[in-house]
């Protein structure tokens, strides 16, 4: 049988096989080969007894992330807010760059538009070509567009705490509300204390990875390492200019004849996006190759 790992807990993998959740133990060879199955993996399993099985093989992955440990994410939903809290655009740019690097579509969702319409932030991301939408979990504004964008995909929700990730999931699916409540109750101190990732199926055909406190958003250096040599491709509005700089290997920081800098100057690339790029480039320079 083939299924999708929706949860990993205490050495067991919970595999969704057409709606039935089978608790699986991995075959010994995984430990031997130092391969860890991940939430989001498509896997083949062999049933052993009712509700239980053995995990035999992992299908090839489209992508994988370390923090949170998930695989095969189609899109990264970057929840931001310009009310309380105000999301630092640099964090959005960094997580979006990580997503682009891994061929995971970043989508910027600005929540709490009932409190602040976030015109400036909206324009900024519109200008990059990253899909951007404005929503309100409170009034329901924009939720149809968000639901449509989640349909048929596996999406990972990220954002700094308090932006409204849970509120949005609850607003998208009443069922989810119950589940979130139960999980919080079971853990006693609420969902922010847990680190485990789980996939949820929303009404319709959308799968969501809810990752409490995605570390990449919560501090400047956390999350996945970025590579300075491929960073420029992770800024999608830079792409039309790559290869047009005077020098091969141009870092687009302050080089003469740089096509990216010319585009920034001409207003075709948002200045603040380029500032984020420079900051990420400096951080990526500190990454030691052996840490990758």
Q: Which residue is nearest to ligand GDP (CB)?
A: 164
Q: Are 190 and 184 in contact (CB under 8 A)?
A: yes
> Cα dihedral sign for 227, 233, 237, 238?
positive
Q: Which does 258 bind (CB under 5 to 8 A by kind): Zn ion, ligand GDP, none?
A: Zn ion
Q: Which does 245 bind (CB under 5 to 8 A by kind): Zn ion, ligand GDP, none?
A: Zn ion
Q: Tell me, residue by residue from 240 to 259, as one string, x for binding to Zn ion by CB under 5 A and - for no binding.
A: -----x----x-x-----x-
Cα 224 to Cα 145: distance, rounded to the nearest angstrom: 29
Using CB under 5 A as the binding rule, the residues of this chain from 257 to 276 that contact Zn ion are 258, 260
Q: Is 194 in the site for ligand GDP (CB under 6 A)?
A: no
Q: Which does 53 bind (CB under 5 to 8 A by kind): ligand GDP, Zn ion, none?
A: none
Residue number with CB closer to ligand GDP (128 or 166): 166
Q: Are 206 and 153 in contact (CB under 8 A)?
A: yes
CA distances from 257 to 122, 158, 238, 247, 269 (A): 31, 37, 15, 8, 16
Q: Which of 16, 74, 138, 145 binds ligand GDP (CB under 6 A)?
A: 138
Sequence-separated (6 or more) residues with CB below 8 Å from residue 25: 11, 12, 13, 52, 54, 55
Q: Which stretches of the chain bind ligand GDP, using CB under 6 A?
A: 111-112, 114-115, 136-138, 159, 161-167
- The residue ranges that bind Zn ion (CB under 5 A) are 245, 250, 252, 258, 260
């Amino acid at each position: 049988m083939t299924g999708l790992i929706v949860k990993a807990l205490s050495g067991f993998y919970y595999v969704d096989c057409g709606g039935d959740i089978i608790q699986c133990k991995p075959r010994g060879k995984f430990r031997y080969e130092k391969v860890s199955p991940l939430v989001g993996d498509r896997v083949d399993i062999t049933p052993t007894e009712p509700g239980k099985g053995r995990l035999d093989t992992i299908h090839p992955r489209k992508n994988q992330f370390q923090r949170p440990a998930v695989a095969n994410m189609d899109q990264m939903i970057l929840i931001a807010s310009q009310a309380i809290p105000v999301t630092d655009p640099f964090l959005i740019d960094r997580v979006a760059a990580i997503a682009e690097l891994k061929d995971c579509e970043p989508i910027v969702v600005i929540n709490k538009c009932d409190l602040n319409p976030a015109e400036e932030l909206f324009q900024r991301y519109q200008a990059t070509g990253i899909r951007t939408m404005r929503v309100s979990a409170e009034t329901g504004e924009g939720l149809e567009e968000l639901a449509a964008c989640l349909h048929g995909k596996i999406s990972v929700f990220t954002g700094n705490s308090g932006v409204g990730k849970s509120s949005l999931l609850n607003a998208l699916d009443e069922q989810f509300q119950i589940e979130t409540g139960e999980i919080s109750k079971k853990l006693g101190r609420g969902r922010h204390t847990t680190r485990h990732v789980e996939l949820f199926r929303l009404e319709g055909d959308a799968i969501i990875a809810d990752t409490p406190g995605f570390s990449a958003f919560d501090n400047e250096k956390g999350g996945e390492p970025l590579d300075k040599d491929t960073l420029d491709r992770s800024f999608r509005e830079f792409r039309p200019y790559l290869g047009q700089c005077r020098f091969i290997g141009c870092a687009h920081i302050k080089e003469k004849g740089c096509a990216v800098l010319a585009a920034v100057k001409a207003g075709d690339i948002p200045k603040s996006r380029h500032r984020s790029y420079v900051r990420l480039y400096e951080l990526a320079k500190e990454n030691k190759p052996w840490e990758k």
